[in-house]
Structure 1
């Protein structure tokens, strides 16, 4: 049986890419019966009715999957955040990072619209960028308008499935249009009244950019920590996890426990206060989450 990768899902059809091109497939009823849906990014076995049509028979094991956006086997998430319009938000970035880390997806932080900021704002953004780099993240500063930083971003896309995700209006589609001008993805200006953009992307599709595949998605429509437990959260903050090796007690949640390595690292300035504050806020949110039955 032939095999391929689902690169687009739309209106009940799954478009499977193989070495000869695209085959439009429907999913067999057994998937619905087992409450399983094929996802963009899935490696599948299919039965071909002809060169252009067929049926998905089997979904290969996934290394990860996201519910919203619905995509599987993601290698990395390009987290796109603007320096301004809307303003750069560390709390929103940290929320995205936690979700990506929890799903075992490699994150890359991309800060856009640096052509719109003053020297003072640029210095502030550089300080944030350095803090995240110290935590272990790669950070790239870009401008689609000036095509700044594209030479740094492009190599990261090679031979990977990448998801572009972030707040509405930060320039995800503009970035992709700059990387691959023939895409002509729709973009919307920011609403000055709301201070945010409108979603311009309607479905998940993997687009070939260089030798990689990129999903321009509507972003995470849910940023809730539904499946993350309190004990998991430290692992989603790399610098906190590293500092926790110096905690006196195993299972330390870095709240009021004595001789906590994380709190010592915060006090010494090794970990920025805002990262620790966000950790505490997220921990409280997880603890107050209503139980699911």
Structure 2
């Protein structure tokens, strides 16, 4: 039986792309997946069979290299985390939360800051630019590539195309940050629905309704995913949260106690590095906040 890649899942159907390209085959999943508690995901490489009417059935899910829970996508090897610098404002707490889940899924991350052309003039604009530069410097120092973009003016798009080439890229970010506008700029001829920020609510409307892999001109795929504004840590443990901060992970082996939470234990390498200014205060405080959130989830359930 042939193998293919699920490029879209919608209304109970899985659309499987053949290696040679062409129109994806519309498939149903076998009932055995439900019995096993499994579900095919966009990004899954699968074995499928074709029926006489031109449709098909997903017979087997091949081993996954990575898997994200929210948004649900398999085998993406680069998470493209999109955050706007204005409307909505840059939110480093949410950015760090995204990075924790990305690191937990064993994926690399590329940080894209959008709407650079929307920064106003004057004192307010200068404040935003300083915030952007601090964020760019901080996350670059940790080891993440940071690209500043404007979909309308074309700023940073060539650098972004180069970074995305050859990957299955998972595009994610808060609603209203301009993900669809960015994809429309990167993929000529594609016209994803876009919406401006709701002035009353201060957040974007969801313009993407499902996960879909979009072929990239330079090779590989872009996964345009539904916008979302919150993530929880129900599937993570204490050790995992600490290991999902790259700069903590490199130091944790030097802590005196195995399983150190980096909050109160003596001779903690992470706390010592923070005191020396080698770990950003914002990153450490976000870690402490996430840890408390995880403990609260654990207490409730």
Fold match by TM threshold 0.5: yes
| Cα distance per residue 1:227-281 (max 9 Å; x no partner) | 1111111111001222333323222211121222111211121111010000111
Q: Once the 2 structures are TM-superposed, how far is the Cα of residue 51 of structure 1 from its aligned partner?
A: 8.1
Aligned equivalents of 2:68, 2:299: Cα separation in 1: 21
The DSSP-based 3-state class of the residue aligned with 1:127 is helix
Aligned equivalents of 2:29, 2:15: Cα separation in 1: 11
The DSSP-based 3-state class of the residue aligned with 1:289 is helix
Aligned equivalents of 1:220, 1:43: Cα separation in 2: 25
Q: Once the 2 structures are TM-superposed, how far is the Cα of residue 52 of structure 1 from its aligned partner?
A: 3.2
The DSSP-based 3-state class of the residue aligned with 2:298 is coil
Does residue 187 (structure 1) correspond to residue 194 (structure 2)? The answer is yes
Aligned equivalents of 1:209, 1:228: Cα separation in 2: 33
Q: What is the match of residue 11 of structure 1?
A: 11
**CA contact under 8 A between 2:70 and 2:231: conserved in structure 1?**
no
Alignment RMSD (CA, Å): 1.7
TM normalised by structure 1 equals 0.95
Q: Once the 2 structures are TM-superposed, how far is the Cα of residue 213 of structure 1 from its aligned partner?
A: 0.6
Aligned equivalents of 2:147, 2:54: Cα separation in 1: 40
Q: Once the 2 structures are TM-superposed, how far is the Cα of residue 68 of structure 1 from its aligned partner?
A: 2.8
Mind listing any 5+ residue stretches in structure 2 that lack a counterpart? Answer: 120-124
Q: What is the match of residue 89 of structure 1?
A: 91
Q: Once the 2 structures are TM-superposed, how far is the Cα of residue 154 of structure 1 from its aligned partner?
A: 0.6
**CA contact under 8 A between 1:162 and 1:214: conserved in structure 2?**
yes
More moved, 76-85 vs 63-72: 63-72
The DSSP-based 3-state class of the residue aligned with 2:26 is strand
Q: What is the match of residue 59 of structure 1?
A: 61
Q: What is the match of residue 272 of structure 1?
A: 280
Aligned equivalents of 1:214, 1:63: Cα separation in 2: 17
Q: What is the match of residue 33 of structure 2?
A: 31
The DSSP-based 3-state class of the residue aligned with 1:130 is helix
> How many residue pairs align between the two structures?
293
Please, which of 255, 263, 274 is the counterpart of residue 263 of structure 2?
255
Please, which of 139, 156, 167 is the counterpart of residue 146 of structure 2?
139
Q: What is the match of residue 78 of structure 1?
A: 80
Aligned equivalents of 2:252, 2:68: Cα separation in 1: 28
**CA contact under 8 A between 2:85 and 2:132: conserved in structure 1?**
yes
Aligned equivalents of 1:149, 1:54: Cα separation in 2: 41
Aligned equivalents of 1:283, 1:236: Cα separation in 2: 12
Aligned equivalents of 1:70, 1:243: Cα separation in 2: 31
Q: What is the match of residue 130 of structure 2?
A: 123
**CA contact under 8 A between 2:79 and 2:169: conserved in structure 1?**
yes
**CA contact under 8 A between 1:68 and 1:221: conserved in structure 2?**
no
